Chain A
Amino acid sequence: MKAILFASRSFKVAGFTGLLVLLSACTNSIIDEVRHDYVDVAEGESIVVIGRHHKSEYETELDFVRCIGLAISEETDINVIPEQEFIDNLYPWFEPRTAPIRLAGMENLLQRSGVKSQLTEMGIRHIIWIDGSTQVTSKAGSLACGASLTGASCIGYMTWDSEAKYEASIWDFKNRNEAGKVSAEAKGTSYMPAIIVPIPMIARVKTTACAGLGTQLRTFLTAGEVRE
């Protein structure tokens, strides 16, 4: 009985995953890397991934920052400190209004009482700043839905283009330099035809950008080991 139940659940999971794959629209992505220095995260050292939140026109999404952190920590032995924990421990110096934009600002910040010692205590080796966002760039079509006593239905067709653009700057706290930059750009078109029921085919640009940027950052952070 348990086996049948397990098989039934597996079938449902596989079916749901298959449906998601079928209903996902295409995306294409470009990953770029600029390296100024080889880096290596030694045992006992940690990194932190933080989003840029100081711009008025957009804000780097918290879920994207978390996604990058997971992409690094799940596939390597690198300890990634959660963004909020890091920001709270160094309050108020990494808030949108005070976070250093350039390395020179970081040098000034290190002169402040308790900042350097806290970074050392947390074992921070690299600060990875994520800047960017996912946005809908254009939309077309229309969808009309209605409800009556016999039920609800929709008819129409909608399409929209999405673009995810992110750049990660890797600051090396130990060597006091910018080790490099990795950027990811993903574009895709989503479709939603509706004949009674809307059938969304979503271009998962943010997920694609996270996967691409995460993989490249992993390579970047472990390249020192390869070189040795």
Chain B
Amino acid sequence: MGGRYPEPRVETIPLTIGVHYSEHFKTFRHEQTEKDAGTFVVETGKAQVSLFNTLLKGAFASVKKLKTFPCSTNPCAAKGVPLNAIMVPETVKFELSIPEYTQDKIYEVWINYNIRLYGPDGALLMEWPLVAYGKTPLKYFKLKKTALSQATRVALRDAGVQFILSLEQPQLRQWLDAQLPESRPPQQLQVSQ
């Protein structure tokens, strides 16, 4: 599955970020065989690359894609452009629950991600998990393929929500703010709800 995702409406962090997608991430595929329901195959590689490209583009002033990581130069640069940090998302686990096993007869999807943030010297600065969840709207529960891709799409949107919220965690904000040009005051963000 592919798909477009909306650009996040957030204040752009004025930093240049590199992003590296591993082959495992770019081609991620989940296959699950259930005794009474057949085989389910979900391919999220393209969709999650599209999602993270959109999220990073909205969240940071400049995003450079890195084909390989660790970088060949120290400090890390993309076509001569120095990078403030490098982000490497990874899919850790994909779980699927089918209508046969749920009381409400819906498809449910959980996708576990691990986000790693490296400094320009290639040292790991931080890593944090994201657990995204999606379920089918009930009207789709009879159409297997549509329902499954709908649940996965909802989970990917949820991954986007959690990624944006995760950029506000104090430890990460502190580090990001420290990289900002001195003239710019640290951003004050409030959590909604």
Binding site for B on A (CB under 8 A): 59, 61-63, 88-93, 95-98, 100-101, 105, 108-109, 111-115, 118
CA distance A89 to B9 in the complex (A): 8
- Which of B65-73, B88-96, B157-165, B176-184 interfaces with chain A? B157-165
Whether A114 lies near B193 (C-beta < 8 A) is no
17 residue pairs of the A-B complex, CB under 8 angstroms, read: A61-B138, A62-B137, A62-B139, A89-B9, A90-B9, A91-B157, A95-B158, A95-B161, A98-B161, A98-B193, A100-B193, A101-B193, A108-B192, A112-B9, A112-B10, A112-B11, A113-B9
Using A98-B165, A112-B11 as known contacts, list a sample of 4 further A-B pairs with CB atoms less than 8 Å apart, ordered by residue number in A. A61-B139, A63-B139, A91-B6, A109-B192
User: Which of these, B5, B9, B139, B162, contacts A93 with CB under 8 Å?
Assistant: B9
Question: Which range contains the number of B residues in contact with the other chain?
Answer: 20 to 34
Residues of chain A lying within 8 A (CB to CB) of residue B192: 93, 98, 100, 105, 108-109, 112
Asked if B8 is at the interface (CB within 8 A of a chain A CB), the reply is yes
Asked if A115 contacts B9 (CB within 8 A), the reply is: yes
Verify if B37 is at the interface (C-beta below 8 Å from A).
no
- Top 7 A-B pairs ranked by shortest CB distance? A113-B11, A91-B6, A92-B161, A88-B6, A114-B9, A109-B192, A108-B192
Known: A111-B190, A114-B9. A91 touches B138 (CB 8 A): no
Check B143 for interface membership: any CB of A closer than 8 A. Answer: no
Q: Which residues of B contact A98 (CB under 8 A)?
A: 161, 165, 192-193
Q: Contact partner of A91 among B7, B190, B193, CB < 8 A?
A: B7
**A108, B160: Cβ atoms closer than 8 Å:** no
Docked CA distance A92–B58 (Å): 11
Tell me if B189 counts as interface (CB < 8 A to partner A): yes
Interface string of B117-142 (1 = CB under 8 A from A): 00000000000000000010111000
Q: Measured between alpha carbons, how far is A95 from B159 in the docked complex, in Å?
A: 11
Cα separation A30 to B140 with both chains bound (whole Å):
29
Q: Nearest chain-A residue to B161 (Cβ)?
A: A92
CB neighbours (8 Å) of A114 from chain B are 9-11
Question: Which of A63, A96, A100, A111 has most B Cβ within 10 Å?
Answer: A96
Closest residue of chain B to A84 (Cβ to Cβ) is: B6
Contact B8 A91 (CB under 8 A): yes
Beta-carbon contact of B8 and A92 below 8 Å: yes
Chain B's closest residue to A88 (CB) is B6
Q: Is the CB of A97 within 8 A of B137?
A: no
Q: For A89, what are the chain B residues with a Cβ–Cβ distance below 8 Å?
A: 6, 9
A90 surroundings in chain B (CB, below 8 A): 9
Residues in A neighbouring B5, C-beta threshold 8 A: 91
Q: Is the CB of A108 within 8 A of B191?
A: yes
Q: Report the Cα distance A117→B164, complex, angstroms.
A: 19
A63 and B157 CA atoms in complex are apart in Å by: 20
Chain A residues with CB under 8 Å of B157's CB are 91-92, 95
Chain A residues contacting B190 (CB-CB under 8 Å) are 108, 111-112
Contact partners of A95 in chain B: CB under 8 A:
157-158, 161
Whole-angstrom CA separation of A59 from B107 in the bound complex: 13
Once bound together, how far apart are the Cα atoms of A108 and B190, in whole Å?
A: 7
- Can you name the residue of chain A whose Cβ is closest to the Cβ of B12? A113
Give Cα A118 to B8, complex, Å.
12
Of all chain B residues, which has the CB nearest A107? B192
Q: Please, how many angstroms separate the alpha-carbon atoms of A180 and B139 in the complex?
A: 29
Given known pairs A59-B138, A61-B137, A98-B193, the reply for A91 and B9 (CB within 8 Å) is: yes
Report chain B residues within 8 Å CB of A101: 193
